[in-house]
A = this chain, B = another copy of it.
Amino acid sequence: MPQVEPLPVTGAWMPGDPVGHRQFFTIPPERPMALDGGGKLRGVTLAYETWGALNADRSNAILVCHAWTGDAHAEGPQVDGQQTLGWWNGVIGPGCAIDTDRYFVVCSNVLGGCQGSTGPASPHPDDGRPYGSRFPVLTIRDMVRAQARLADHLGVESWASVIGGSMGGMQALEWAVTFPDRVRSLVPIATCAYATAQQIAWGAIGRRAIKLDPKWRGGDYYDAAPGDGPAEGLSVARMVAQVTFRSDNVFTEKFGRELAVGDPHPEAGFDLWQRFEVERYLDYHGDQLAKRFDTNSYIVIGKAMDLHDVGRNRNGFASAMSRIKVPTLSMGIWSDILYPSYQQREIREILVSQGTPCEYVEIDSPHGHDAFLLSKDQVSAALAPFLDKVEKG
């Protein structure tokens, strides 16, 4: 199995990233991946983590899919060069809803990512230099097809369940539609079957902000000196996303109209760049992301979400969804302004109308879209009985 050299944690983002507990799988270069948008990628590597053990009849595998800036580290501590805590700690683990004593759990960094999988910062096989602007546009289907190669490699013929929130939910849906025989149950959370105009609009604004940053250099910034990359553009893009990930009421509760803690307070805010506390919070999240995430990956993955439409080239939404025949748990969040809960109810409605068993559970949280990461108790409370029921057939 190919190894990636661990890189030092510098605080600034670097191509590739520390290894942690990740493993790596590379699709043999002689079997290039054909992409949805045309063209091919050779020698694609996926970084992934696993928890638990595959049973003898290989029937207990669950695929967990991450969101935009997530990675394979769905469970585990912030150690061994891993810069973040497992994003679903408490949902995955021994005795948890996704019980690693019972299941073999897999999470892989998506194609196009920057946490060990092939993405724009990876070396182009032709010249060993980063792809940069040469990296192709991807779709969620491309990500899923790469994961299918990983499943082959792991000996997983079909998943007991494919589970994910936000972009992870898009992958879950695409798994079930693209490979109906390889998915035995499905849990899309706070996601959609196709990106709406408003979702595309938010994504487009982020792209435009990055393009506006002269340090983005059209995508070819990997030779830039440390600190001279497109961190500002990425940060502004992230600010847009961050507001859509949360909610008005929680922002009011957390920040109100307070001025930024620790900032100088000239004349109680009467300075153009004197920040309110909410601005400091957004700046902080933008800066944090710029330290750990590649700007081109952010763009490529964001565009894949805009292109997400299960019905494309499949005679539309209803026809595509009719391929799903397995028990499905669709989860929404009432306070989600990015993927409003009508989109998850629509998934339930179309499946039920087509005779597929689907339940809908709404997470009762004021936290907005991110509640799938924050209100883990509620996610677990719905997941555990669903997986039990599916297992018992």
Contacts and interface: CB of A to CB of B under 8 A. Distances in A.
A213 interface: yes
A142 to B, nearest CB: 10
A4 interface: no
Given A137-B270, A240-B240, A279 B200 contact: yes
A198 interface: yes
Interface in A250-281: 251-252, 254-257, 267-272, 275-279
Identical copies of this chain, number: 2
Nearest to A255: B197
A contact residues, range: 35 or more
Contact of A204 (B37, B279, B300): B279
A207 interface: yes
Interface string A290-316: 000000000110010011010010000
B201 A307 contact: no
B198 A251 contact: yes
A43 to B, nearest CB: 21
A205 interface: yes
Pick the 8 closest A-B CB pairs, nearest first: A37-B270, A197-B251, A197-B255, A197-B278, A204-B279, A198-B248, A198-B251, A137-B270
Interface of A: 36-38, 137, 139, 194-198, 200-202, 204-205, 207-209, 212-214, 232-233, 235-236, 239-240, 243, 247-248, 251-252, 254-257, 267-272, 275-279, 282, 299-300, 303, 306-307, 309, 312, 337, 340
8 contacts: A197-B257, A200-B279, A201-B279, A205-B240, A205-B243, A208-B239, A269-B307, A272-B299
Given A197-B278, A214-B214, 15 more contacts: A36-B270, A38-B270, A137-B270, A137-B271, A196-B251, A196-B252, A197-B248, A197-B277, A204-B282, A205-B236, A205-B239, A205-B282, A248-B340, A272-B303, A276-B306
